[in-house]
Amino acid sequence: MPRQRWTTADVPDQRGRVAVITGGNTGIGFETAKVLAARGASVVLAVRDMDKGKRAAAEITAAIPDADVTVQRLDLASLASIRAAADELRATRDRIDLLINNAGIMYAPRTTTADGFELQFGVNHLGHFALTGLLLDKMLRIPGSRVVTVSSAGHRQGGPIDFDDVNWSTREYSRVAAYGNSKLANLMFTYGLQHRLSGKGETVAVAAHPGGSDTGGSRTSVSRQSGRC
């Protein structure tokens, strides 16, 4: 039997659902936001650059006049920003059906987050870990709710994570290995979260590999909210 090809046409009606998408202003996040908005979801673009987020929201509403799209400031390289964003979302949303952990950076030069973590590990994994933990109770009672974390086949790069030195403080820094470790951490987080969620609520945790997508994620500049991770 030939494998059936799944497309955006297969996305069901999303009316009444709330989708929070990190890095939703560009790349995979933006395309995801457009599809969900077209299907009737209330979409939140969680982005570092509010101006870019507003332009992305305007582009979606220009194409889909009845789209419900809002913009939330979120810098995944800052735990203070993550907590502030989560507080705002918790105050303004009774429910979250989809948390799509999409934003990230790829092959960045060695630098650190506001809290001192190696940037790729800090943004791609730790930032999403913190955001998910702060929003999860808004999802647990919602049928069909999902935490979707965009990982990558790049998780094979770099070997096992050195948990004694996740910040690369005592080793020569490798952009590729650090990226691979962050993507491996995404998968480990998803497996661990799903194990804890099983039988305890309505939410499931899944991970996705985006394939060879042409997005801004391969830029080596320190762009903390690119369209893929």
User: Which residues are designated catalytic?
Assistant: 179
The CA distance from 86 to 92, in Å, is 10
How does 94-118 read in b/e, with b if 16+ C-beta sit within 10 Å? eebbbbbbbbbbbbbeeeebeeebb
Q: Would you list the DSSP string of 125-153?
A: IIIHHHHHHHHGGGTTTSTT-EEEEE--G
Structural element, H or E, at residue 195:
helix 175-197
Cα angle: 168, vertex 171, 176; to 5 degrees: 65
Is-contact 185 158, C-beta < 8 A? no
Residue 180 Cα to chain centre, angstroms: 16
Q: How many other C-beta atoms can be found within 10 angstroms of the C-beta atom of residue 52?
A: 16
